[in-house]
Chain A
Amino acid sequence: MNNIQNDRIDHIIGSLTRFLHGKARALRLSLIAFFSKGHLLIEDLPGLGKTTLAIGLSRALGLNFGRIQCTSDLLPSDITGLSIYNQATGEFEFHPGPIFNNIVLVDEINRATPKTQSALLEAMGEEQVTIEGRTYKLPLPFFVIATQNPAEHFGTFPLPESQLDRFIMKISIGYPSRESEKEILRGGSTRERINSIKPLMDKEDVLRIQREISEGVYVSDKILNYMLDIFEAIRSSRYVYTGLSTRGALALAYTAKTNAYIHGRDFVIPEDIRELADYTITHRVMFREEYENMDKKEVIRSLMQEIAVPA
């Protein structure tokens, strides 16, 4: 009956959960962002396991991993790489930067200067970098996990709202539960053990699954109408200054498809959209100045509560 072979994803979630105590939700959402061919923004305090999550993902998926620690003196070429003159050959040789990896963790993206940020975001959007007139394709699959520290403001360059739109989802990991934290304390850091995970998939599998999701999961007309209802409600809300862009709308559709796939369905149901609304919609919506202080999540949730599902 079921022509969805999602058991490997289940397997990944199952085995990684053992190492990432209390991060099951974040892990699942990251996988959804990954298989939706998007990029993920994690807004969280340092030390809650963002890096562990990223490394765990790359290991389990059998992909290589790069890390960029952003500072205000980080230059675009520190990310993309640069050409260096090789005296032996007498030619300029291109040395790829950390962005030439499948999974790239960009830590504290808001500490980078806007110039560097935009170079990074451009690479994310186009999956290629152009250096000194030559265009280099980035390896596929390509997945950026950017983190942002909400508590520090001094010397940071917050991402403009328009750039937030480039991330398919924005999540936060949050503090682990008492139980999970106890478990972590007992076992110590799991970083070492994570490095020893055997890959559960390879590149080909990942690309195949991505293709299956985008081509094989059916989005009904009813669901499309439901989504359009949501966009309309948000765009016409009195709290909202700018609503979802069409890129945002597409993101909603992609993630819903992936969510359906992970649940073993080859068709989207309204829950796929409702479950992810917190992470896909909220960061794309700009509120009117007078409502800036309202809890965006709550407002979006209450708007969603007004929209009837197709069945």
Chain B
Amino acid sequence: MTLKNDPVFTVKVKDLVKIITYFIGMTGFLSVYRHISMVYSLFFVILGIASIYLEHRKSFYLPRWVLNVTALTVILFSIYRLNPEDLVTPVAEGLLILLGIKFLEDKKFRDYMQIYAISLFLLSSAALLSVDIIFSVYLVILIFLLAISMVMLAYYSQKPDLQLTKDIALKIVFKSLLIPLISIPMTLFLFIVMPRTSNPLLDFLNKPGKARTGFSDNFSLGDVTGIQEDNSVIFRANMEKTDENLLYWRGIVLDRFDGTSWRQSGQASKDTVRLAGKKIKQTIFLEPYENKYIFALDKPETIFLKDAKVLNSIIFYLPKDIDRRIRYEAISVLSNLIYEEKIDEDRYLHLPDNISDEIKKLTKNLVTGKEKETGAKVILTYLNSGQYKYSLKNLPLTKKPLDDFLFKYNYGNCEYFASAMTVMLRIAEIPSRIVGGYKGGYYNEIGNYYLVLQKNAHVWVEAYLNKKWTRFDPTPTSTEGFASSPKRNTLFKLKLLMDAINYHWNAFVINYDFEKQIALFSKIKLGLKRPDINLSGVRKYSFIIVIGAVTAFIGYFLFFNKNPVEKRLISSLLRKMARLGYKRHRAQGLEEFLLSISDKRLKQRAEEFVQKFEKRYYRDESFTKEEIKRLKDMLKYLTKK
């Protein structure tokens, strides 16, 4: 009674929230209205006026499901209108209509929050549509309005009919303004700094495109060790499981040796060579590395990749270095032979001047008086029969690495073995070359692919005998470097599982770049558009009916087919009981379950609830609103003292 006579001006917090919310929606609208078509603005204004009118009358609100279905239709319509040239405008227009619809609702706490979110989205789309200083004005206004409104909303949600005097209302407003004032410096930092750094700030989160060492056009003896100490993935090859001894992944071919390093000299196109044998298909996901060569199982016949070129030494490459993850399919012939009628013998017999007499003498001793083929085999046996050990450490990085390897150190990595063999073959007048790539790999059963790591890097030899290139691998096989079946402990299995997930992510998400998605999207849209180009009225209507039915169907599932109230009541009871330590077995009936409760009062209350519940539930009757409320109250009361 005193309030009425009180001259102090009071306001309901409910009204306050409503007014501020309208201002927030207005700010969102103003921020985009210059960029969207007039029709939408007009529509929004009409919706806004309608909702203010309904708000004023207080008695009538449109049923929620009508609004929800309409909103869904709007969303579908804006998706339909999306196009690659302008993604933002249709979204902004759609959002605006959604905002208008939201205003029409009998607003509850979450509706207010949705309105705020939509307004913020509108503002962000305005930022995408134009770079204009006015944007920051809207931003500041919106931030302040949101801060005030959120605080008011907190009061409102506790007590909707709360009355505030002018003084208190102002106090709350000023206090809530402090929130953005404090947070704005931080925001400004993000706002100003973030878009202006040339490198993404959060890049460390997903370490993409890490610079990797890899095979290059020339490498010095000992170089591969650097690669072999790298545990990162070079590629994954999706294919069936194959004999591990055949897992040579061909990358590059090197033919010119200068005593310490190998390089590639010019080569002709592929047409002079011929392959024969069992074919095997692979889909390879190659990680970016610092070169242009692309790998496939020895010997690749075809690689399906745009711009990929091939040389007569059967190596495939791209015009430029591979700087992002690529995917390609390759067909390989599983054979260790390449047929080539005529080769440039001088090139493959070339030896540097500084080859020592000792090597020559050794070779002569090994091959004199033997056929070329036998000679090659003798050299192979000489190298990999055990007197030379495989090692990745303390390699002979000297001026005469081959001599030191053969006569002094007696150990080396695959490069030393392969180089020694090639040089010795050439001394024996057998044309030969070095092939670089990877050997082995871990077969991931989960993803059906070979995981090949940098440390699988390997080089081997090809010798030209009887008009065909034959593969020789002089490196002793019992080496740790390419252990293709490491201890399969749990940790390793977990790693493989993680890698399989990673692989699928790569295969389906990352590789699917945005352009492709847009292209696909346009295709779908084209398909959708086609029917109404030249269709008769009947079919056009049936199309509309189908779309309407689908919308209604989705709407029904989204808004009506929620968990029935019975299920919610029961799961609420069971949750409460579980919190108290009483867990029900799913085969236990409710009353049976309650027998296990030792707390008498709790048991009695729960029994009351269950009996009330069962009376409707097991009679297949639906609950009235009052009953639901009563049951909910009982649940609340369940644990009270």
* Residues in A whose Cβ lies below 8 Å from that of B614: 265, 267, 269, 311
Q: What's the count of A-B pairs with C-beta under 8 Å?
A: 53
* Residues in B whose Cβ lies below 8 Å from that of A131: none
> A267's contact among B566, B570, B589, B618, by CB below 8 Å, is which?
B618
> B587's contact among A218, A265, A306, A311, by CB below 8 Å, is which?
A306
Indicate if A7 sits at the interface (CB-CB under 8 A). no
Indicate if B342 sits at the interface (CB-CB under 8 A). no
Residues A274 and B592 in contact in the complex (CB < 8 Å), given A306-B587, A311-B566: yes
Q: How many Å lie between the Cα of A310 and that of B564 in the bound state?
A: 13
A269/B589 in contact, CB under 8 A? yes
* Residues in A whose Cβ lies below 8 Å from that of B585: 305
For A209-244 the 0/1 string (1 means CB < 8 A from B) is 000000000101111000000000000000000000
> B589's contact among A265, A266, A306, A309, by CB below 8 Å, is which?
A309
Q: How many Å lie between the Cα of A175 and that of B567 in the bound state?
A: 44
Indicate if B619 sits at the interface (CB-CB under 8 A). yes
B620/A269 in contact, CB under 8 A? no
Write the chain B residue with the least CB distance to A274: B589
Indicate if A81 sits at the interface (CB-CB under 8 A). no
Q: How many Å lie between the Cα of A73 and that of B570 in the bound state?
A: 60
For A282-311 the 0/1 string (1 means CB < 8 A from B) is 000000000000000000000011111111
Write the chain B residue with the least CB distance to A263: B591
Indicate if B43 sits at the interface (CB-CB under 8 A). no
Residues A304 and B589 in contact in the complex (CB < 8 Å), given A220-B620, A267-B619: no
B587/A222 in contact, CB under 8 A? no
B586/A271 in contact, CB under 8 A? no
> B618's contact among A269, A304, A306, A307, by CB below 8 Å, is which?
A269
A309/B586 in contact, CB under 8 A? yes
**Which of A218, A220, A308, A311 has most chain B Cβ within 10 Å?**
A311
Q: Is the interface of A mostly helix, strand, loop or mixed?
A: loop
B422 to chain A, nearest CB (A): 66
Query: CB within 8 Å of B: which of A19-60?
Result: none
A271/B619 in contact, CB under 8 A? no
Indicate if B588 sits at the interface (CB-CB under 8 A). yes
> B617's contact among A266, A305, A311, by CB below 8 Å, is which?
A311
B414 to chain A, nearest CB (A): 57
Residues A220 and B619 in contact in the complex (CB < 8 Å), given A267-B614, A269-B614: yes
A267/B587 in contact, CB under 8 A? no
A221/B620 in contact, CB under 8 A? yes
A271/B620 in contact, CB under 8 A? no
**Which of B587, B592, B613, B620 has most chain A Cβ within 10 Å?**
B587
Q: How many Å lie between the Cα of A266 and that of B591 in the bound state?
A: 16
Q: How many Å lie between the Cα of A254 and that of B588 in the bound state?
A: 21
> A307's contact among B587, B591, B592, B613, by CB below 8 Å, is which?
B587
B589/A223 in contact, CB under 8 A? no
* Residues in A whose Cβ lies below 8 Å from that of B628: none
For B246-275 the 0/1 string (1 means CB < 8 A from A) is 000000000000000000000000000000
* Residues in B whose Cβ lies below 8 Å from that of A271: 589, 591-592
Indicate if B320 sits at the interface (CB-CB under 8 A). no
Write the chain B residue with the least CB distance to A270: B589
A149 to chain B, nearest CB (A): 33
For B42-83 the 0/1 string (1 means CB < 8 A from A) is 000000000000000000000000000000000000000000
For B605-641 the 0/1 string (1 means CB < 8 A from A) is 0000000011101111000000000000000000000
Indicate if A268 sits at the interface (CB-CB under 8 A). yes
A308/B591 in contact, CB under 8 A? no
Query: CB within 8 Å of A: which of B577-617?
Result: 585-592, 613-615, 617
* Residues in A whose Cβ lies below 8 Å from that of B589: 269-271, 274, 309
* Residues in B whose Cβ lies below 8 Å from that of A306: 587
A223/B587 in contact, CB under 8 A? no
B618/A220 in contact, CB under 8 A? yes
A305/B618 in contact, CB under 8 A? no
A308/B570 in contact, CB under 8 A? no
A interface size (C-beta, 8 A): 21
B587/A304 in contact, CB under 8 A? yes
* Residues in B whose Cβ lies below 8 Å from that of A221: 620
* Residues in B whose Cβ lies below 8 Å from that of A274: 587, 589, 592
* Residues in B whose Cβ lies below 8 Å from that of A266: 619
Write the chain B residue with the least CB distance to A268: B618
* Residues in B whose Cβ lies below 8 Å from that of A270: 589, 592
B587/A309 in contact, CB under 8 A? yes
* Residues in B whose Cβ lies below 8 Å from that of A310: 617-618
Q: How many Å lie between the Cα of A221 and that of B617 in the bound state?
A: 10
Write the chain A residue with the least CB distance to B595: A271
* Residues in B whose Cβ lies below 8 Å from that of A308: 586-587
B618/A309 in contact, CB under 8 A? no
A269/B591 in contact, CB under 8 A? yes
B588/A309 in contact, CB under 8 A? yes
Q: How many Å lie between the Cα of A304 and that of B617 in the bound state?
A: 22
* Residues in A whose Cβ lies below 8 Å from that of B586: 308-309
Query: CB within 8 Å of B: which of A238-278?
Result: 265-271, 274
Q: How many Å lie between the Cα of A218 and that of B618 in the bound state?
A: 8
B619/A218 in contact, CB under 8 A? yes
A203 to chain B, nearest CB (A): 31
* Residues in B whose Cβ lies below 8 Å from that of A269: 589-591, 614, 618
* Residues in B whose Cβ lies below 8 Å from that of A268: 618
B473 to chain A, nearest CB (A): 55
Write the chain A residue with the least CB distance to B573: A311
B570 to chain A, nearest CB (A): 5
* Residues in B whose Cβ lies below 8 Å from that of A305: 585, 587
B615/A311 in contact, CB under 8 A? no
Q: How many Å lie between the Cα of A269 and that of B586 in the bound state?
A: 14
Residues A267 and B615 in contact in the complex (CB < 8 Å), given A308-B586, A309-B586: yes
A31 to chain B, nearest CB (A): 20
Q: How many Å lie between the Cα of A68 and that of B290 in the bound state?
A: 100
Q: How many Å lie between the Cα of A218 and that of B592 in the bound state?
A: 20
B42 to chain A, nearest CB (A): 52
Residues A223 and B618 in contact in the complex (CB < 8 Å), given A308-B587, A309-B586: yes
Q: How many Å lie between the Cα of A268 and that of B617 in the bound state?
A: 10
Q: How many Å lie between the Cα of A218 and that of B566 in the bound state?
A: 19
Query: CB within 8 Å of A: which of B25-44?
Result: none
Q: How many Å lie between the Cα of A304 and that of B615 in the bound state?
A: 24
Q: How many Å lie between the Cα of A308 and that of B586 in the bound state?
A: 5
For B551-590 the 0/1 string (1 means CB < 8 A from A) is 0000000000000001100100000000000000111111
> A311's contact among B590, B619, B620, by CB below 8 Å, is which?
B590
B590/A222 in contact, CB under 8 A? no
A226 to chain B, nearest CB (A): 10
Q: How many Å lie between the Cα of A221 and that of B589 in the bound state?
A: 16
A263 to chain B, nearest CB (A): 9
A40 to chain B, nearest CB (A): 24
Q: How many Å lie between the Cα of A311 and that of B619 in the bound state?
A: 13
Give 8 pairs: A residue, B residue, CB < 8 Å, sorted on A.
Answer: A222-B617, A265-B614, A271-B589, A274-B592, A307-B587, A310-B618, A311-B590, A311-B613
Sort A-B residue pairs by CB-CB distance and give the 5 closest, nearest first. Answer: A271-B589, A270-B589, A308-B586, A267-B618, A220-B618
Chain B interface residues (CB < 8 Å from chain A): 566-567, 570, 585-592, 613-615, 617-620
Inter-chain pairs besides A267-B618, A308-B586, A309-B586, 17 sampled, C-beta below 8 Å: A218-B619, A218-B620, A220-B619, A220-B620, A222-B617, A222-B618, A223-B618, A265-B614, A267-B614, A267-B619, A269-B614, A274-B592, A307-B587, A309-B590, A311-B570, A311-B613, A311-B617
